[in-house]
Structure 1
Amino acid sequence: MSEVYEYLPHPLLRRRVRDIASGAEGELMAVVNENVSSTAIERWVELAYVRGASGLEISTAVGNIEAAGQ
């Protein structure tokens, strides 16, 4: 099996974003291509990690994030 994750560049890194799925807002801390396989067949997903005002981070699909205020 390959590495478990790899960091990806994203134009909104370190900027305020909104998760359209949950409505949560915060700073985009990282975008990761993560191996979520539970079997020998690899399955990769691109996740965005957003840190809210409380300091806790949530993960969501990269397609669910947009610049805050849009």
Structure 2
Amino acid sequence: MNPGKVEASEDHPLLHCPVRDIASGAEGELMAVAHERHGGRLIRIAHIRSANGIAWSTAADNIGPVR
């Protein structure tokens, strides 16, 4: 996916907390939730960083708290 244009960020309740990316099963700290424009659509993107420093993004609806 090509990077979208960031329109806004969100003060998400799990910001800086451990989260699980439900789609991949990977876990990390939620660094930001951005509202990005992709092909005319505004999408909420979660930016996550694992303990070993690897970062990735996923749809914000794909994250949940680590229990």
Partner secondary structure for residue 31 of structure 1: strand
* Higher relative strand content: 2
Select the residue among 37, 59, 62 that pairs with 1:61. Answer: 59
Q: How many residues align?
A: 62
Q: Deviations over 1:28-61 (max 9, x none)?
A: 0000000122xxxx22110001101221211011
Stretches of 4+ aligned residues off by more than 2 angstroms: none
What RMSD, in angstroms, separates the aligned Cα atoms of the two structures?
A: 0.9
Aligned sequence identity (%)? 48
What corresponds to 1:9 in structure 2?
11
Structure 2 gap segments, 5+ residues each: none
CA distance in 1, matches of 2:41, 2:55: 23
After TM superposition, the score normalised by the length of structure 2 is: 0.86
After TM superposition, the score normalised by the length of structure 1 is: 0.82
Which structure's CA Rg is the greater one?
1
